Structure 1
């Protein structure tokens, strides 16, 4: 059995057992274990898979560990500080988040790779993915922790739902975008090149579209099927009731949008990897 698959299966069994025992005993001391196992399982699995595809001896276990932990934490902290200082509620907040978080991960990647004597585009793909998955793991832990608290009290079910959803989506999120960025950056050899700047802006736009897809789907649903009375309620600041057909349309648009963004990112990653192989 391949190492990454063994890690995933063992980790999943441990996480499922912890969730079951926590629900059975109602022991709050087990909640941190649920949060950590659920948030780190998929990111760690993909990092191990990526490490197995490393393209040079410069990608040591120590460097990968630093990229995941140090790079992930620095990225999360840098993004949190910049977002609190620079972002205000507005239509462009999603793009702002994309630019800030992708910039923070890029800076973290450059920091952990600063002592590498030789950098190949293939190494950049792997190390970028590692930083991105580290960022995703720590961010998911925060989301899972917040999901635990509801107006009705602590909700283990909501915590588990959040972790499952973020785990399923993790492979086509932060790790994918930073892998593309790392491959292009290491391939170019310098930060300020047209290709690197274009890639940074491109992955930031993908990130922004991903975050905004919920709002985009709601807007498109109202534009396509909105009733006059619904727009009247919106004008006076009330949330209108929606029809069953609108719910189905919203769900379809939201899922289709996420799939389209994921496919675009994966195709871009494939092109970057092929360019790295040619070098």
Structure 2
């Protein structure tokens, strides 16, 4: 009699679930807050692939003329392809050249009158360049550079003023773990007030619009705050704050602006939207990031590096949600 042959059992290796890495788990969780539980591939090389390519001034001007009544594209022509900003790098280069000339005038020729200009241009360079990046990422092209600049200047100063008013309600003497949380809540709330004002004023209804408005408020806050610190502490603080501004107020404002518009959609802005769980998760995240940034904890630069990464991962997930929204709107249309 022939022996009975039983099929071999599949090895545990072939059936064991694949554990996602930490980054995939993070993007999956953050993306679930936007309504889609799926990991988001982060392709920074592709996203910034246009930075080192040659672009004409005409191409730059074409970007800057968007957002007017005659240059805002229809939904059917809005691109949902992965964003590839490049103009912001040219803006940053112009700032770097200007700062180098001002620094040379100040240090080599004792040009004391250049001191204030050097402070303000240095404080402005990174936040405003990041703002230009989010201006490019807003593929709806429905907010003009004039409006963006106005939100950056007026909204940025107003958010600082709002924060100063809120600081009158509390007494903070020394920066501790608890007071860092309080500072984070006050400053993020101060910026949120102005973000909400401009979201309502210009009737923003797309996630990428919220990214841009939040970036404008956050960049203005960052620039004016850094200029104030440099005035008190000297030029040495400019380099530190310029590097750290890659992951602070501009990105935190961007996250809150996108989250607010995400829950608002095309409806009028109303109070219950600020209690929506989707918004509160992102708003709470920015408060945690801000508080951890300010806390007097060890391993400062390691902590700052990790916080910058978390902020950028969150922003990239929201950009993905904004592009997904374009496809959803087209399907609905």
What is the TM-score normalised by the length of structure 1? 0.78
**Paired residue for 2:122, among 30, 38, 48?**
38
1:162 matches 2:237: yes
CA offset at residue 261 of structure 1? 1.4
Write the distance in 2 (CA, Å) between the matches of 1:58 and 1:127.
12
Residues 266 and 113 from structure 1, CA distance in 2 versus in 1: closer, same or farther, beyond 3 angstroms?
same
Tell me, yes or no, if the aligned pair for 1:58 and 1:118 is still in contact at 8 Å.
no
**Paired residue for 2:139, among 47, 55, 71?**
55
1:195 matches 2:278: yes
Partner of 1:221: none
**Paired residue for 2:103, among 7, 12, 19?**
19
Partner of 1:81: 165
1:136-161 superposed Cα distances (whole Å, 9 cap, x missing partner): 0011110111123xxxxxxxxxx1x3
Tell me, yes or no, if the aligned pair for 1:64 and 1:130 is still in contact at 8 Å.
yes
1:160-185 superposed Cα distances (whole Å, 9 cap, x missing partner): x3111111111211011111111111
Unpaired segments ≥5 residues, structure 1:
149-158, 218-252
Partner of 2:179: 93
CA offset at residue 65 of structure 1? 1.2
CA offset at residue 62 of structure 1? 2.3
Partner of 1:237: none
**Paired residue for 2:260, among 173, 179, 185?**
185
**Paired residue for 1:114, among 197, 200, 210?**
200
CA offset at residue 126 of structure 1? 1.7
Write the distance in 2 (CA, Å) between the matches of 1:38 and 1:273.
28
1:95-130 superposed Cα distances (whole Å, 9 cap, x missing partner): 111001101111111112322234111111122112
Aligned residue pairs, count: 231
1:262 matches 2:321: no
1:126 matches 2:201: no
What is the TM-score normalised by the length of structure 2? 0.66
Partner of 1:274: 320
Residues 53 and 97 from structure 1, CA distance in 2 versus in 1: closer, same or farther, beyond 3 angstroms?
same
Q: Which has the higher Rg, Structure 1 or Structure 2?
A: 2
Unpaired segments ≥5 residues, structure 2:
1-54, 56-85, 265-272, 326-333
1:174 matches 2:249: yes
Write the distance in 2 (CA, Å) between the matches of 1:260 and 1:36.
28
Partner of 1:68: 152
**Paired residue for 2:297, among 188, 208, 216?**
216
Write the distance in 2 (CA, Å) between the matches of 1:57 and 1:113.
16
Residues 42 and 277 from structure 1, CA distance in 2 versus in 1: closer, same or farther, beyond 3 angstroms?
same
Give every structure 1 segment of 4 or more consecutive aligned residues whose post-TM-superposition deviation is greater than 4 Å: none
